Amino acid sequence: MNLDEDEHDNAPSSPPSTSLNLDRCSITNTDVDMSMASPARHSKSLPTSTSSSFSNGGRKIAESSMVLHPGTGTDTDPSSSQTLTTTTTTTTATTSTTTTPTPTTPVLTPAVLTSELEATSSAGSLSPACSMSSFPRDISATYSRDRQVQPEPTTIPLDERLYSLVDRRQAKLLAKEQERSRKWSKMARQYTSDAWETEYSFSHSSKFVSRIYKGIPDCWRAAAWSHLISKRAVDFDPNIRQAYEAMLAIPSPEEEQIDLDIPRQCALFRVLKAYSNYNAQVGYCQGMASVVATMLTFFDEEKTFVLLAQMFEQYNLNDLVVPGFPALFEAFYIQEELTKLYAPKVFQALTTMGIQTAGYASRWYITLYSAGVVPYRTLLRIWDIFLLEGFDWLYFVALALLKYYEPMLVQHNFEQTMEMLNAKMDIQDDERLLKIAQKLFKQARQSGIVSRLKKTYAATLTDRTDVDDALIAAAPADISAS
């Protein structure tokens, strides 16, 4: 593929058939982070159109009057992209300037802000993300019809004071985000990858780690994720990039199933198809789509494919989704044991209600929380740390979710709890959730409990048949037999 999927392809000058559109696959942004900046779209520059492809204007962010003009980044020709890259590097050091549009591509203005936030906002683009080409989108809403409609202007409360409150809160968030972006740009070292992409590397200092726990700034997320995944995959298949085209070209035994779930024209479909060929052991498992869709909001198709392949390999995700789901069942066991230990009241409540982990947590693990388990902004925070720490982190996210809802869990009945755990969890306070998870994760790492539990689990598997028999014997008589 030499063409990136282009989310603004309504533009007249976009290549008509080859340009791909995430929007067409209805990945929507119902949950745009109010805190602002778009993530950088990590993509190769394209020898396609320039100015006119950005004509379809700005996207409204929530109720505020801030409008960002999308554009740049994905659609520039190679030469202007080079210029842009250079400009980016230089601006990272200067806080007051924004990325200067190159003369050849006058539309590269990173952000046009119609509100009084203009000054602060534009200063936020001192990062690889100064190409504001995309927004975080809520993957959970991907296939959902009843997604929330952005309120019409008429439905917005007209109270001016409310506006100013929102704006002040936003301004505060923006300022914070910019401050953090600035720190990140100081940590980053830019280089050009073998695939001629501008990449960033970071030294794994304690500062870097703690900044990831605080949340990667939106505009640094693509760069950081790419770094975290590739860093684990140093010796990974060097021909992976070329594999994408090859894997796309051949039919996949999973194609029919993928086609049932995803429209064929989508970048999402193609990445899933190519990957099912590339990793035949995994093939395609329902639930992978939302993982890939999340990645596609940050990276182009080919890059998504590369990172997906590296991630599955390096984060032990194969066993999570292969037939038999061995790592999933292991996760259930570990989560239950950890709950027993760290959240005994929750464990007691769930046990009393007869709720087993598989009844709600399959979706949590298989989709890495991406299928509408938590709000999108929370998901990104979870992934930031997941990509840093690895799979074990996900057990503690589960545990933190249960602990977060403990007050309700212990009062609810079976049905209320099942419905709550199966729905999207309305996390109001990301910091609190992540603090719980982080604290337990650190505690557990010191005690080595997870690896002990893995050993215990492996041991129970060897006499699995006995266990099965015992469980069957212990099961209560079914009602129709009563």
Partner 1 sequence: MSKDDEYDYLFKVVLIGDSGVGKSNLVSRFTRNEFNLESKSTIGVEFTTRSIQVDAKTIKAQIWDTAGQERYRAITSAYYRGAVGALLVYDIAKHATYENVGRWLKELRDHADTNIVIMLVGNKSDLRHLRAVPTDEAKQFAAENGLSFIETSALDSSNVELSFQRILTEIYRIVSNKALESNGDGIRPTGGETINVAPNSGDANAAGGCC
Interactions with partner 1, residue window 206-225 (CB under 8 A) = none
The tokens of 238 are what?
Answer: 């060097």
Give the number of C-alpha atoms closer than 13 A to the C-alpha of residue 289, restricted to the C-beta side. 25
Site for partner 1 (CB under 8 A): which residue of 142, 178, 277, 314?
Answer: 142
CA 35 – CA 467 distance, rounded (Å): 50
- 62 binds partner 1 per the rule CB under 8 A: no
Which amino acid is residue 87, in one-letter code?
T
By the rule CB under 8 A, 146 interacts with partner 1: yes
Residue 165 Cβ vs partner 1, minimum distance, rounded to whole Å: 35
452 binds partner 1 (CB under 8 A): no
User: Taking CB under 8 A as the rule, does residue 448 contact partner 1?
Assistant: no
The least CB distance from residue 470 to partner 1, in Å, is: 10
Among 79, 148, 242, 411, binds partner 1 (CB under 8 A): 411
Q: Which is nearer to partner 1, 245 or 466 (CB)?
A: 466
User: Which of the residues 228 through 257 are near partner 1 (CB under 8 A)?
Assistant: 257
Report phi then psi at 244, rounded to 5.
Answer: -55, -55
Q: By C-beta, is 27 or 222 nearer to partner 1?
A: 27
Q: Does residue 286 contact residue 274 with C-beta atoms inside 8 Å?
A: no
CA distance 132 to 40: 7
144 near partner 1 (CB under 8 A): yes
445 is a site residue for partner 1 (CB under 8 A): no
Sign of CA dihedral 132, 133, 138, 141: positive
User: Residue 58 or residue 359: which is nearer to partner 1 going by CB?
Assistant: 359
Contact 178, 124 (CB under 8 A): yes
H or E stretch at 181? helix 160-187
Q: Report the site for partner 1 in 377-396 (rule: CB under 8 A).
A: 390-392
> Amino acid identity, residue 190?
Q
By C-alpha distance, which of 16, 375, 296, 15 is closest to 134? Answer: 296
Query: Cβ closer to partner 1: 240 or 289?
Result: 289
Q: Which is nearer to partner 1, 145 or 161 (CB)?
A: 145
| Contact flag: residue 474 with partner 1 (CB under 8 A) | yes
Name which position in 358, 429, 435, 443 contacts partner 1 (CB under 8 A): 358
In the range 297-356, which residues lie near partner 1 by CB under 8 A? 316, 319, 322-330, 332, 353-356
| Whole-number Å distance between alpha carbons of 27 and 182 | 30
Cα gap 28→366, rounded to integer Å: 21
Binder among 143, 299, 383, 396 for partner 1 (CB under 8 A)? 143
Residue 479 makes contact with partner 1 by CB under 8 A = yes
> Alpha helices of 51-128 — where are they, by DSSP H?
78-93, 118-122
d(CA 376, CA 399): 19
Contact 325, 365 (CB under 8 A): no
Q: Judged by CB under 8 A, how many residues of this single chain contact partner 1?
A: 71
Q: Closest approach of Cβ 325 to partner 1, in Å?
A: 6
The sign of the dihedral angle between the CA atoms of 190, 191, 192, 197 is negative
Sign of CA dihedral 402, 383, 268, 236: negative
Q: Rule CB under 8 A: is residue 26 a binding residue for partner 1?
A: yes
> Which x/- pattern over 260-279 shows residues binding partner 1 (rule: CB under 8 A)?
xx------------------
Which stretch in 64-72, 181-189, 210-218, 412-420 sits in contact with partner 1 by CB under 8 A? 412-420
Q: Choose, by CB under 8 A, the member of 367, 384, 427, 440 that binds partner 1.
A: 367
Residues 173-202 that bind partner 1 (CB under 8 A): none
Q: Is 58 in the site for partner 1 (CB under 8 A)?
A: no
Integer-rounded Cα radius of gyration of the chain: 23
